[in-house]
Every structure is written in C-alpha cells, then in structure tokens.
Amino acid sequence: MAFITFEGIDGSGKSTVARMVAEETGYILTAEPTDGPLGMELREASERGDGCIVEALLFTADRYVHTEQIKKWLNDGKGVISDRYLHSTVAYQLAEIEQKEEKEGKHWIGGDRRQMWKEWLIGIGTPASIKPDLTLLIDVDVETGLARARERGRLSSFEKVELLKLVRRNYLELAEDGRWNIAVIDGTQGIDDVVKAVMKEIKQIGKN
C-alpha cells in the first residue's frame, strides 16, 4: 500500500479531494498539523504570533510524531493519505521567511539567501519525514483560492494575496525540483474531474 500526500494553497480544494480519494481507495486519511499536543502547541504559537521559524520547528516536531504513526499504518499493510506534509512547511514557511526578511531589508536578490532558507527547511524536515510514494499538488491561482476560502468563512493568517503568491510559486518550484514524485493537478476543474485526474496518477504508482 502507498503513502500519498496532498498539497496546495488554502482554497485549492485539496482537503475535499483528499477525503473523496480516501473514501474511494479505502486509505486512512490523516492531516497536518495533527490534533496531538504538538499540533495544538503549533496552533497556539500561530495565534500568539511566535513567528515563522518557531512554527517551522513545531511543524517538524509534530511531523516526527505523525510520521511514526504513518509508519505503523504502512507496516500494517494500510494505505495512508495525508492532507499536508513536508512540502507544506517548505512552501509556507519559506514564503513567510521571505516576507519577514524583505521587511527587515535583507533583499533576496540573486536567490542565495532564499536557497539557504529553502534547504534549511528541507534539511530539518527530511529526517522527521518519510518520502511519499506520490504527492498531489492541487494547483489553483491565488484569486480562486482566496475566493473559495472566503466562502467558508474566517480567513487564516496565511490567506493573504502576496503571501499566497509566494507559497504557490514555492509549491510549483518543488514540483519541478526532481527530488520528489509530485504531480500537479489543475484544481480549477470541477471536483469530479479533479478526483478523476488524481486517481489516474495514483494508479500509476509502481508502474514507473
């Protein structure tokens, strides 16, 4: 059985798609941040405004515990779908760090500083993770994502236009990186078409 992760900006529809795919495949559906003590501490840190570095470290700690549970499920022969995983921390926290440093006058011209932070986030996250067999990036433009987020009510601190533009850019860059098996799915399609596209990718696991 496979380990599959779903990623995307807020409002992409990834949670709905992940739930529908879990129902269709019979896979266990889990999510990050978790509802455990570290996941709750992460939410509180976000509410307090402790900052992106603290959040990145708490996400990593929460993921370490989460990963141990995922391993148990996989060892029991169960397929697992996670709504967000390593790539969320890289995409979101890198965007927040970039905005923070730009405000402090630390311009990222040339990309060296950005690359340093990107690799730091990947570096702290990789030992706390296992490599998914497949990551589905449900991609929508920021305007579409925000419109959907507004429909469901309260916007999170992440759901801001300029920040989400950076997050989306980071996600698409990770998809092109080559270190992971990431399939980009057009999330602007109807939900049934998105699920169909996702299932097509899932059926390819093990064939390549």
pLDDT confidence of residue 105: 80
Which region among 165-169, 175-179, 204-208 has the lowest average model confidence (pLDDT)?
204-208
3-class DSSP assignment, residue 144 = helix
Task: State how far the Cα of 29 lies from the Cα of 202, in Å rounded to an integer.
Answer: 15
d(CA 87, CA 10): 14
- pLDDT of residue 108 exceeding 80: no
pLDDT band of 24, cuts 50, 70, 90: very high
- pLDDT bin (cut points 50, 70, 90) of residue 171 is very high
Element (H, E) at 13: none
Measured between its terminal Cα atoms, the distance across the chain in Å is 16
Q: Output the pTM of the full model.
A: 0.92
For domain 3-202, give the fold.
Rossmann fold (3.40.50)
Is the pLDDT assigned to residue 109 strictly greater than 90?
A: no
pLDDT (0 to 100) of residue 29: 98
**Mean pLDDT to the nearest integer, 30-50:** 94
More confident residue, 92 or 113: 92
| Top-confidence residue, 47 or 87 | 87
Pick from 146, 9, 159, 191: which is nearest to 84 by CA?
9
Alpha-carbon dihedral sign for residues 173, 177, 180, 185: positive
The tokens of 136 are what? 């589905």
Q: Sign of the CA dihedral 157, 44, 34, 63?
A: positive
Rounded to the nearest integer, the mean pLDDT of the chain is 92
Kindly report whether the peptide bond that precedes residue 132 is cis, defined as omega within 30 degrees of 0.
Answer: no
Is the confidence at residue 157, as pLDDT, over 70? Answer: no
Residue 42, token pair as written in the block? 């992460």
What are the φ and ψ backbone dihedral angles of 160, each rounded to 5 degrees?
Answer: -125, 145
How many C-beta atoms lie closer than 10 Å to residue 52's C-beta? 20
